[in-house]
Amino acid sequence: MPYEQLDLSTPKPVLSWANHTLGQDETKMAKNVASLPFVFKHVALMPDVHLGKGALVGSVVATKAAIVPAAVGVDIGCGMAAIKTPFMADQLEGKLQQIRQDIEALIPVGFHENEAADTQVLHWQGWQDFKHLHTGVQHLEAKATKQMGSLGGGNHFIEVCVDEQDQVWLMLHSGSRHIGNVLAQRHIETAKELAKLAGEKLPDPDLAHFVQGTPEFEAYWRDLQWAQNYARVNREVMMARSKRVLAKHLANGQPFTPCLSVNCHHNYAEREVHFGEEVYVTRKGAVRAQQDDYGIIPGSMGAKSYIVKGKGKADSYCSCSHGAGRLMSRNKAKLNFTLEDLIQQTQGVECRKDEGVLDEIPGAYKPIDQVMANQSDLVEVVATLKQLVCVKG
């Protein structure tokens, strides 16, 4: 689907791949961002766009010489990892429940953390730089160490899936855990204080920003990169543990080599070159989709997910959606659906079926097929996955 330019009177245009009219609050949020003086060229909205904080989830914002920490968000580096295994679906027969239980035994979920860090965690080079992070997180090193290799809650998950050829995949979704959240909050607070001192009149306090070349900018950028790396390694640790579970059940405990591995952020910022200029690209709920980039676009529990390759569409800042996108808030989902609805909508999936995950019911999300149709110019589908096991916090 080609994008449409929204009919908004803003200094910079807003291009949308959503193929639907934004609500009043969403429109206001898009206008606020597109009115910032340092926004470059235009704002791009992905097909799964919905309300966020400061900036819309599912938005790509390129900026010149400035960055908005709240636009990146508090789960810095949140993203996806997936591997294609050499195993086939028939090898899973009769083993799904035990596989789920073994993954849950190895990987803490929700607010839980590891009792002790394993070798893979302790050998991460990033720990050497912890002392240089914001002073407000220095007391959290032990917690950050124990949380690496843990899933968290909300919409984070670990799944065993099969593709159209019945080949087995592992896929998971998680970010930078508590340490990333606190780092983000500390810097957001600083940005707001600076805006207040400068008497800036922002359309939204959450759009307070840092200017390139200032100590505050450099401190945020350093901590941002550290948290993004933490999130990536966190996914690697969980994937390694999930691989061990599959190897135990499908390969007599023998290690295996994945046929394909993907690990991508969808809440982050990087320096990139677009339209011939170096800019800061903030993807808030969006995946980089440069030419031949592999990406992951998950559906909800019980819906299809996609492994994709980017087409390098310039107008999207070489980006695509990060999932189906929420159709309704968590509270609204709990009011609109019952436990029976959850059981029915997750038929055939070995997963939790209790009221604790009712807000993650498939019906609370946009139809993934429509989301994919709306971005056919942004990505090509490499594999279509259907989950058989889903572990949630």
pTM score: 0.96
Query: What is the rounded distance in angstroms from the CA atom of residue 233 to the CA atom of residue 228?
Result: 9
Give the tens place of pLDDT for each residue, 135-148: 999 999 999 999 99
DSSP helix, strand, coil percent of the chain (3-state; round to 5): 40, 30, 35
Of the candidates 15, 3, 76, the residue with the CA atom closest to the CA atom of residue 42: 15
Give the tens place of pLDDT for each residue, 164-209: 999 999 999 999 999 999 999 999 999 999 999 999 999 999 999 9
Q: Where are the beta strands (DSSP E) in 51-200?
A: 57-63, 66-67, 79-88, 157-162, 167-174
Q: Is 155 annotated as a binding residue?
A: yes
Q: Is 75 annotated as a binding residue?
A: yes
Long-range contacts of 93-102, Cβ-Cβ distance < 8 Å, separation of 24 or more: 95/249, 95/250, 96/160, 96/350, 96/388, 96/389, 97/350, 98/249, 99/160, 99/245, 99/246, 99/249, 99/350, 99/389, 100/160, 100/350, 100/351, 100/389, 100/391, 102/245, 102/248, 102/249
Q: Is 263 annotated as a binding residue?
A: no
Q: Is 386 annotated as a binding residue?
A: no
Q: Is 301 annotated as a binding residue?
A: yes
Residue-wise DSSP of 319-386: EEESSS-BSS-HHHHHHH--HHHHHHHTTT-EE--SGGGGGG-GGGB--HHHHHHTTTTTEEEEEEEE
Q: Is 319 annotated as a binding residue?
A: no
Range list for CATH 3.90.1860.10 in the chain = 4-327+365-392
Domain 4-327+365-392: give its CATH architecture: Alpha-Beta Complex (3.90)
Q: Is 158 annotated as a binding residue?
A: yes
Q: Is 191 annotated as a binding residue?
A: no
Q: What is the pLDDT, as a whole number, of residue 1?
A: 57
Give the tens place of pLDDT for each residue, 34-65: 999 999 999 999 999 999 999 999 999 999 99
The answer to whether 80 and 219 have CB atoms below 8 angstroms apart is: no
Q: Is 316 annotated as a binding residue?
A: no
Of the candidates 249, 232, 230, 236, the residue with the CA atom closest to the CA atom of residue 389: 249
**356 alpha carbon, distance to own chain's centre:** 21
The answer to whether 43 and 264 have CB atoms below 8 angstroms apart is: no
The answer to whether 386 and 304 have CB atoms below 8 angstroms apart is: yes
Statement: residue 244 has pLDDT above 70? yes
Q: Report which DSSP code applies to 205.
A: G
Indicate which residue of 42, 50, 134, 322 is catalytic: 322
Statement: residue 320 has pLDDT above 60? yes
Q: What is the pLDDT, as a whole number, of residue 326?
A: 82
* Cβ atoms < 10 Å from Cβ of 373: 12
Q: Is 276 annotated as a binding residue?
A: no
Q: Beta strands 79-88 and 167-174: pairing type?
A: antiparallel
Q: Is 209 a catalytic residue?
A: no
Give the tens place of pLDDT for each residue, 85-135: 999 999 999 999 999 999 999 999 999 999 999 999 999 999 999 999 999
Q: What is the pLDDT, as a whole number, of residue 189?
A: 97
- Which residue has better confidence, 94 or 366? 94
How many residues make up the chain in this entry?
Answer: 393
